[in-house]
Structures are given as structure tokens and as C-alpha cells.
Amino acid sequence: MPFGEVAMNKFWTLLISLSFVSVMMILPCSQSWGESLSALPPAPPVPSGNLQTAAKVALGKTLFFDPRLSVNGSVSCAFCHVPTAGYGDPKPVSLGVGGKRGGRNAPSVLNAAYFPLQFWDGRAGSLEEQVIGPLTNPVEMADPNYQSIVARLNKIHVYRVRFHQVFGSGVSIDHIAQAIASFERTLVTPNSPYDRFMMGETNALSPAQKRGLAIFEGKGRCAVCHNGALLSDGAFHNLGVPQVGTSSVDVGRYAVTHNMSDKGRFRTPTLRNVALTAPYMHDGAFRTLGEVVDFYDAGGGKTPYAKDVLIAPLHLSKQEKSDLVSFLNSLSGETEKQKSYHASRFH
């Protein structure tokens, strides 16, 4: 049965919690951080205009892995959102049709359904909007327009049949977006060792991971921005990440808002499954979690724009860095089990 209204209520509860935590994080470091972290809710929000059904999810999964969505049949959604790489891109910057290099590393789709804004710069306001963006991007799937995609899929008998079964009509760009977004909403990963620890299973984390959690919440200041159930404040920050992508200058959030203070700002990614999604940062600047920790420990990098005031040297010891990386490795959830969970909810 559809569960959109229940899920939406949980979502707004989560957002309110995250907003409260974000305010609390500006308090002095002596403030207790214990309420800054929480377990992942069981289901992401579902819009009333695109309720989940098993058939729609199955169609979306087929489309997600079908390279025929691209202009020459060479690139699928899964080409950049690789399941074995945590549905992120193991390449520093993503490649499109003809090997064209983009300027950013494709973020993971896992748990993306919980975020109200999509992409590193937040330019899409829903998963449905996010889905169709790459289709006509000249360095991604490079379709000349949406009509060409619809015409191509309408020539495939099995798609005509399945779209009629799911939507009661033929292929359309809106229905393509709705189907793929429905599949993406099943890609949630609860029940990580960290989740089990937060729910009272004291042995779910190793001694090193427990020490790393203490660093994460305290001296490492990670929870200032990586807080709440998603381990992300959902906000945009400039850390001084080195620009190693193909863009000579990437202004980040500014390209969406045209607000000068947003230059060089990128969304705080969720840390869930972070051990699976190397390389890291918006342009794949760092290959390992150790490099990321070193970057933060040094107080971030240089930037031509205003760096976030929250970024400062941490002075972590070698052992503290090692423990912090150990904790980050505890954040991977159980994707396959959750797929089964969602499938059972539809019957």
C-alpha cells in the first residue's frame, strides 16, 4: 500500500530535528553533542503525486540501468552511479557520452531521497527533477531534447507495455522521471553498525570506532556539519577544496542563487556509506578517507572565496585520525535487505 503520507510526516519530523541540531551546533564546544546524531528513519518522503508501487519501482530500476536513455546508447544512470561504488562514481569526475569529462564527481544516490535538494549545488528540488537533468546535459547523456528520448523508448514494445501498465498511458518524460525516482527512493541503507549502536547495541562498534565517534562528536568537530539522521546538515559550505576537476573555476551554489556569499559552497554530503564512495569531495579531490581527515585536520584548503568560519585546524594525533577513519567505516548500511523491506511494503 502507498505510504507517502506517513513517510512525509517522518520526513518533516527529521527536518525539524536537523534544524534544531544545526542551531545547537553553533554553541561552544563544551555543549553536549549527544543529541546531534540519530538513526536513519525507515522510509524516505514520497510525494503525493508519485506514490510507490512495485511495478513502478521495477520499471524505474530497468530504466536506471538502460543506456538507451543516452543519445547513442552508451551511458546509463548506473554508469556514473555505480552500485558496487555505493551508487556513486569511482572516477574523480564523471564521464559522459563519448568520454566527455564533467567537472564534478557524481554523488551517491543512496539515501538521496531524504534530501529536499539534489546535486552538489542544490539546483534540483526533487528526485524527479534530478533524474531528468543529466538526460539533455551535453557532457552527460547528451540527448538533444526530451522528445527524442520519449520517441526512442516508444519504439521499444516492452516499454510501451510497461508504461501503460504503470501509468495508464504511453512513455513521457514525466513518467520516466517518476519511475526512476521511485526506484531511487528504495535505495536507503539503514541498520549500519553505527545505527545499531545508536539504538542500544553497545557491541555494534569496535573500541576504535567508539573512540572515533567521540572524536567525530568532539575534538574533530565533524558533527558541526555532519549531524542528524543523515549525518549532514543539508547546508552549503566552502571548505577550500582544491579544484582538480575539469572546471577551472567552480562557483558551486552561487550558480543557482547568484548570491555572492554562496561562491565556492557545496552541499554537505551524507556520510552514510562513505567508505564505499571514494573518491571524495565535489571534484573527487581525495582518494581515501585518510586524505579527507588530513584535509580537515589542516583546516581545509585555500580558496579565492570566503571560507566557512567553521573550518579550522584540529590538531588531531595519528591515533585520533586512525580512530576517526575506523568510525567512518561503521556507517555503511544494508542496501539489499532494505530493497527487500521496501518490496514487502508494496504488497
pLDDT tens across 99-116, in order?
998 889 999 999 999 999
CA 197, chain centre distance (Å):
23
**3-state DSSP assignment of residue 157:** helix
Rounded Cα distance between 277 and 279, Å, is 6
Helix, strand, coil share (%) of the chain residues, nearest 5: 45, 5, 50
Question: Of all residues in the chain, what percent carry a pLDDT higher than 90?
Answer: 81
Reported as a single tens digit per residue, the pLDDT across 188-217 is 999 999 999 999 999 999 999 999 999 999
- CA distances, 24 to each of 19, 27, 31, 265, 291 (Å): 9, 6, 8, 21, 28
Per CATH, is 54-188 categorized as 1.10.760.10? yes
β-bridge partners, 267: 236
**Do the domains spanning 6-43+190-335 and 54-188 agree at the CATH topology level?**
yes
Reported as a single tens digit per residue, the pLDDT across 49-92 is 999 999 999 999 999 999 999 999 999 999 999 999 999 999 99
Give the helix/strand (H/E) hosting 7.
helix 4-24
Give the helix/strand (H/E) hosting 344.
helix 335-345
Q: What is the DSSP letter of 268?
A: P
Nearest to 43 by CA among 200, 187, 177: 187
Q: Report pLDDT for 30.
A: 28
Cβ(94)–Cβ(87) below 8 Å: no
Instruction: Name the CATH architecture for the domain at 6-43+190-335.
Output: Orthogonal Bundle (1.10)
> So which residues are the catalytic ones?
140
Across the range 241-267, mean pLDDT stands at 91
Q: What is the DSSP letter of 321?
A: H
Cβ(263)–Cβ(319) below 8 Å: no
Nearest to 178 by CA among 118, 142, 126: 126
Query: 139-173: buried (b, 16+ CB within 10 Å) or exposed (e) per residue?
Result: bbbbbeebeebbebbeeeeebeebbeebbeeebbb
Instruction: List the domain boundaries for the chain.
Output: 6-43+190-335, 54-188
Q: Report pLDDT for 37.
A: 77
For the whole model, what pTM was predicted? 0.85
The one-letter code for the residue type at 339 is K
